[in-house]
Chains A and B, each alone.
Chain A
């Protein structure tokens, strides 16, 4: 047998999706594979196999999956509280299978995470990854997820190319499907950020938070927007403390 290091990254990623799926099944965990090779062909502006495995997990099953993965050699690299302005994902690493981003919800789907997952799960399809059937969101859900991700990902050329493919190149009925799902899942503000129509939500804390992603170097601005968008005073106080720590950490790395 040859050394595992010899295989291309795209092969390793597809195998890693299958491994994570098998572990989820053995632990009785529902999850959906997103991004990378899980995305339906033609929905990305340029094909990408990704550099990590991204999955959305049924919220009630998150702890179970974390336990299953860590008992099989994964270690937590970044807990949920260090992932992003949304605290949405934990990153785990395995010596063979590299990184898994375990999403407990998807940023921009503002509806209750339990209900959001239920809706995505009900609409799920299957994609064969490494000869194994893996559940993935349906095409409409994938388009919505790619648009919301694009809204958080500044593009050097202005509009993110995935927005072209998953909105501007669609027919009106196709756009209506994406918009309807977005409305059902509370994704109107994130969708507006992706489409460049955030002004329609001007003055809301959520709009300010999404607007802050257009300048990723403005860490202070992102934290301010994040604190303002927090739903409760308690959450704002907690975020304020973490903001101070994070910004000090950032300064110490310079």
Chain B
């Protein structure tokens, strides 16, 4: 089965797209550690928070334009990392 991801409902987050580099910051409430996502990581977070339904790693890779195989592998690994941190929840 392919994992589907969604932003954990217990997460607070903000995105700063005013500067040259996109910055996302998120924390699992009430007392998780502050996580900062820059560049492509921030872009993936923006896409994740704007998704209207759970998404697969391949769908996210498509959304952020990761076409090369190594890029798609990186997207999948990043989503797994976010899940381990509690920022995303995964379901089958």
Interface residues of A (CB under 8 A from B): 1-4, 6-8, 10-12, 14-15, 18-19, 22-23, 25-26, 72-73, 96, 129-132
Contacts and interface: CB of A to CB of B under 8 A. Distances in A.
Contacts of A26: 30
Nearest to B13: A131
Contact of B12 (A2, A8, A18): A18
Contacts of A4: 25, 33-36
B36 A6 contact: yes
Given A7-B16, A12-B34, 6 more contacts: A1-B35, A1-B36, A2-B38, A6-B23, A15-B27, A129-B12
Given A2-B38, A7-B16, A19 B31 contact: yes
Contacts of A73: 31
Q: Is the interface of B mostly helix, strand, loop or mixed?
A: strand
A11 B30 contact: no
B3 interface: no
A15 B23 contact: no
B37 interface: yes
A22 B34 contact: no
B23 A1 contact: no
Interface string B57-80: 000000000000000000000000
Q: Which of B23, B30, B36 has the most CB of A within 10 A?
A: B30
A23 B35 CA distance: 18
B51 interface: no
A63 B58 CA distance: 49
Contacts of A130: 12-14
B37 A11 contact: no
Interface residues of B, number: 20
Interface string B30-62: 110111111001000000010000000000000
B30 to A, nearest CB: 4
Given A15-B12, A18-B12, A22-B12, A132 B29 contact: yes
Interface in B1-30: 10-14, 16, 23, 25, 27, 29-30
A248 B6 CA distance: 58
Contacts of A12: 25, 34
B38 A22 contact: no
A3 B38 CA distance: 10
Contact of A19 (B27, B41, B49): B27
Given A22-B12, A131-B13, A3 B27 contact: no
Nearest to A11: B14
Top 3 nearest A-B pairs (CB, nearest first) are A18-B12, A22-B29, A22-B30
